[in-house]
Amino acid sequence: MTTRSYRRQDCPIAYALSVVGDQWTLLLIRDLLSGVHRFEALQKKLGLSRNLLARRLKQLASQGLVTRDPLPGTKRFAYRPTPKCEALWPTVLALAEWGQAWRGNVEGTRVEITESDSGKAVGVRYCRLEDGREVAPDRIVVERIRP
């Protein structure tokens, strides 16, 4: 990736954006996470230039977000998300919730999150780590701690 000036910022958000913060990467990750693993399929689904897709995949591989696995018996490949990539699910879903809530009354495709066994609706929220209870947005405090 490029050496943007914000990479030098000492901030986990800046770090995260230096890895996944360009125009296509989070959309690419959305598709990798939802089971699209092949070059052609990704290119067709996203509509970005093959050129750039190849570059992005290399970058993601070099950052440890995807692996490039040869499909057995062929010369073809599957790009599979690693745990580092899967850990972006909450980010992607937080974006999806925001998009749904604020895109106006466009009746488009929705993203629904449910609990696997009960089928009950789930959202990306704040939780106390201690006991897993939800905390309302107006009761949270965000601090930056410098080492």
Partner DNA sequence: GCCATCAGTTCACTAAATGAACCTGTCGGC
Partner DNA sequence: GCCGACAGGTTCATTTAGTGAACTGATGGC
59 binds a second copy (CB under 8 A): no
Residues 36-65 interacting with DNA (rule: CB under 7 A)? 38-41, 47-52, 54-55, 57
Give the shortest CB-131-to-a second copy separation in angstroms: 9
List the one residue out of 42, 53, 137 whose CA is nearest residue 98: 137
Site mask for DNA (CB under 7 A), range 86-105, x = bound: --------------------
Which one of DNA, a second copy, none is in contact with 90 (Cβ closer than 5 to 8 A by kind)?
Answer: a second copy
Burial of 31 (0-12, 13-18, 19+ CB in 10 A): middle
Tokens of 96: 């999806």
35 binds DNA (CB under 7 A): no
Among positions 3, 72, 105, 112, the unique one binding a second copy when judged by CB under 8 A: 112
- Its sign, for the CA torsion 40, 43, 44, 46, is positive
3 binds a second copy (CB under 8 A): no
CA angle 67, 42, 92 (to 5 degrees): 75
CA–CA separation, 34 vs 77, rounded Å?
Answer: 17
Which one of a second copy, DNA, none is in contact with 103 (Cβ closer than 5 to 8 A by kind)?
Answer: a second copy
Distance of CA 5 to the CA centre of its chain: 22
Contact residues for DNA, defined by CB under 7 A: 2, 4-5, 22-24, 38-41, 47-52, 54-55, 57, 68, 71, 73-78
